[in-house]
Each structure stands twice: as C-alpha cells, then as structure tokens.
Chains A and B, each alone.
Chain A
C-alpha cells in the first residue's frame, strides 16, 4: 500500500476472475491463521479417523448380512462413502463456515461491514471463511475413493474421470446454493440455531445411494435438499450408471439453483437494508 487518496484499482468494469482472486486472498488469511494452531490438525485427523472407522463398521455390518444393497455391491458403496466424505469435507471447509458467519453477522448487525466494501456482497460472504484442517476429510474421502475404484473391476478411464470431476463440481455448487438460500432466510427469521444440525442430519442420508429410499424421500433428497446430485450422482459416474440425460438434468438444475439463489439473496439484502435503515 502506498500513497494517499483512493488507491489505484487494478481494472475497471467487470472482472470475472475477481471472485477467484478474493477467494485466494481470504484463503491465504484463513490458512495462515489456522496454521498457528497445529494441534487442531491432530484433533481433526483423530476425528476423521474415528468417523471413517464408524462408516466402515456400518458398511461391514450391512454386508455381513447381504452381498448387495439395492443393486450396489460393497465396493460400489465404498465409492459412495468416499464421495460422501469428500463432499462433506468440502462443505465443512468452505461452505458451512461462511454461512454460519453470515448468520451471525445478520443477527449482530455486523453485515454492514461487508455491505460497505466495494465488492459484490454475495461473493464476499461466500469466500470469507476457510477451515483448512477440515480439508483432511477431502483427503480421506479421496483415499477411500481410490481404494474403491481399485476394487471395481472396470477401472476408470480419462473420460469418465472428467465426468466424475464435473459432477463433483455441480454437486458442490448445488449444496452451496441450498445453504445460501436457507441462510438468506435469516434476514427474515433471525433465530435459526438448529440449521447446522438439521443439515448434518439430512446429509447423513447421502451415505447410501438415494435409489434405496422410498419415492417421496428420494425426490426430497434430490430437489429439496440436493444430496442426490451432490453425492449419488458422482458415484454413479464412477460406477457406469450415469446416463447423459441425468447429467444434463443435473447441469440444468444447478444453473436454475444459481439463478434462484442470486434472486433470493438480493431480495433478502433489500429486506435487510430496509430494516436497518
């Protein structure tokens, strides 16, 4: 930082990479901050190991009684579990912390600090927090996935691998939209303490392919809470179950959610500014 007066800006107009740059900035701050508390890494490793052990034990119990569950073999379910852990890691690393901070900010009125910054408010509130140690689950999930894929007879080529990565990205976007829509409701309903528990509870259903659930629940877990898209879909890509139609549907739904989320966020913001003025 040099000089007085308004600092020179990098570029005029819309910078499409701006969200990524902001994310990089906050990521560095968050990471540096958490690196000071390395003992937390040990705690996180322990907790991830415990959760993994529990998941494997449950899987073992089920396959102690049967050889397939709703058409899925044990290795295939291991893949589902890998995606579930990985996506859970992404959620707890980057999505949930931001949403919880937003909720606190709305309740305490500190959101004003964000709104007075010359950046897009939705981008700002979405990239502020990053819990680096929670990313242990991303690694654990990836390892479980790798083991599962190795067990699968078919193996995996470059094409399906790319489709899988695309599905993961779509899933993360949908979960983000879902969380932000719910959190935006905090502009109207100030007390939503149990939201975190609610989501954690529902997210557990993703441990199993949604196809085993009865119809009404399967539809809820697809369109109401997009867990089917976030977890089952990538797993289907890996186990050669994914059709091009389903993939197209997922992409369309993700786009729709993004638009709705943007609209709802703006509505909430207008309500917030109106209330605090």
Chain B
C-alpha cells in the first residue's frame, strides 16, 4: 500500500472571536474587558486520500471546508489533531513541501494585473526554480489545452473573469504540483467556462496522477470530477464515500418521468407528482417501489417515453444537511429557535 497523499486524524481548529454587543456602553466596556467565544470551525475531522484521487469536499457556507483546506496547505495552524500531506506537516511550510502543492481560490488573483500573463509565468518559473525547457513545454501545453494562445500576451486586466481564472490555473499548475487544493475554483463563471476548467483539472489529474481536493457550490463540478465525496457540516464529517452511494444513503427515492401519447393525465395514484410540464410528468416514488410503479405505468397507460432517475444531487445534499439538523441540534438551530 503506498503512503496516502493526505492523512488527517482528528483535526480541529478553534477560533476565539470577541463577543461584541450593540451600543456605546458595551463598546466602551469591551475596551477594557473583551469577552470571547470559541468557534469550532473544524471539530474533529479524519480522513485519508490516496494519491491520484479526486475528492469533492461538500458542505454549506461556514461548514469548515476552507478552514480544512487552509490547514492542509499550511496557511492555518491546527488547534489539535494531525494533518500529513505528502509526508509533510503542512504548518511547517517547508519549501520542498510548498513546491509540491498548489491552492487555487476562486476570485483570487495572483497574476500581475497590468501585465500579460506570460510575464507572470516567467516570475513563477523563477520562484519555483523550474528548469527552463521543461517549463516552456509544460506552459505551452497548458496554454493550448485551455485555448489561451491568443490571450497570454494581453494584460490580465483586459481579460474576462473566466479567461483570468484559466490563466490562474495555468500559473498555479506550472510547477506541476502533486496535490491540488481547489477552493471554489469556478465561482462566478459561466457554464462553458466551468466545463473547460473541469476538463482541464480532470486531464491534469489523469496525466500526472495528482491528488485533488475540491470544494464547489456547483454540483456539476463535483459530479464531473469526483468519484468520492466528503460531506462536512458544522466542522464534522457526515459522509465519506462514493458519490454514487450518497443518494442511496440519504435519499431513498427515485424520480420517474412519464410522457403520455395523448396529453396529460392525473398520475397521483402512482406516486407524488412533482411537476407537469409540456406533457411530461415527474413522479417521486420510493426506491423499492420504482420497478413496480414502472410496470403498472407501462401496463395501464399509453406511455410514449419513460425515464427513471436519481434525484438531483443538490436535493440529496439538502437532505443530508436537513438530516444532520434532526440528528444533532446544533448551536445555529437552537439559536434560531428551530425545531431542527
């Protein structure tokens, strides 16, 4: 068994945040005596990722995804627990370690704003001490792969958001890192651009066997790239396994789409009607009933078209977090006065 690329054991990060009450008197008081509250951003997380795996890291805002990525890349010092990346302790920030990883954050720009990206790439070459011939080869391959040939000699400020992000990826991968931390890399991009970046990451992973840990709000990113997902909520792992198992585990329904030859009919007898649009009706039935319902539909009605699908992954995720609230009343739920 090879050494895992990333090994995390009971990792924790607690922030102390000052409590500020409204009002002048409270503000004056806080000058002398600050009250603090502990926020457990990451609360005992353990997992291992093998070399070459692409893992999606899912969770709502504030779940602890970014905090975990920052601990793995050495930007944050863990409060407790252990993180080993490529055999290194990230928080030591040894340069040999930093040479083997990269982190891409959406909406962050580390290329020189006023200059063509090519100039920034030269600087990156010097920073990582890359051998010039191999560097040029890698650079040109990436540029072609992302279709950037025309744009590399334009000042970065004149590029669109998507074009900038593609450049950002080239810059972040020029040193051919073995571990990629991608934090919302497609944030704010249009669908075509998202696809382009996705396939680039997939290609990079395939060619270089690199390990990728990715967070994204766009489920399409996760579905296209990750066979495995880790779901995190309130700093704890709720699920760690194959993406395909996520729906079986948290959502026991199937969606059946039916189109009838002679228009619509009331199908509520077969299952829960989700919608009826342009002659197509969507039914929700439990996973076990699906074969039976399908048989009855085909037997009873003039069916033109019939599909059986897993529910959209977004719905599953929503359900995961809803379940989490049921299982463990969290601070947020209590504060909101919710039943959970």
Chain A residues with CB under 8 Å of chain B are 36, 38-39
Contact = CB atoms under 8 A, between A and B. Distances in A.
Interface of B: 24, 27-28, 31
A39 B24 contact: no
Contacts of A39: 31
A39 B31 CA distance: 9
Contacts of B31: 39
Nearest to A35: B24
A120 B24 CA distance: 36
Contacts of B27: 36
Contacts of B24: 36
A38 B30 CA distance: 13
Nearest to B28: A38
Chain A at the B interface: SS class: loop
A258 B61 CA distance: 53
B337 to A, nearest CB: 30
Contacts of A36: 24, 27
A45 to B, nearest CB: 16
B158 to A, nearest CB: 14
A39 B28 CA distance: 9
Nearest to A37: B27
B22 to A, nearest CB: 11
A33 to B, nearest CB: 13
Contacts of B28: 38
A240 B27 CA distance: 50
Contacts of A38: 28
A38 B29 CA distance: 13
A65 B27 CA distance: 50
A38 B31 CA distance: 11
4 contacts: A36-B24, A36-B27, A38-B28, A39-B31
A231 to B, nearest CB: 38
A39 B24 CA distance: 12
Nearest to B114: A191
B30 to A, nearest CB: 11
B73 to A, nearest CB: 32
A36 B24 CA distance: 7
A39 B32 CA distance: 12
State the 4 A-B residue pairs at the shortest beta-carbon distance, nearest first: A36-B27, A39-B31, A36-B24, A38-B28
A38 B27 CA distance: 10
Nearest to B27: A36
A171 to B, nearest CB: 37
A34 to B, nearest CB: 13
B25 to A, nearest CB: 12
A38 B24 CA distance: 10
A38 B28 CA distance: 9
A36 B20 CA distance: 13
A56 to B, nearest CB: 31
B112 to A, nearest CB: 15
A238 B31 CA distance: 44
A83 to B, nearest CB: 36
A36 B28 CA distance: 10
A137 B65 CA distance: 48
B18 to A, nearest CB: 14
A233 to B, nearest CB: 42
Nearest to A39: B31
B309 to A, nearest CB: 45
A31 to B, nearest CB: 14
A52 to B, nearest CB: 26
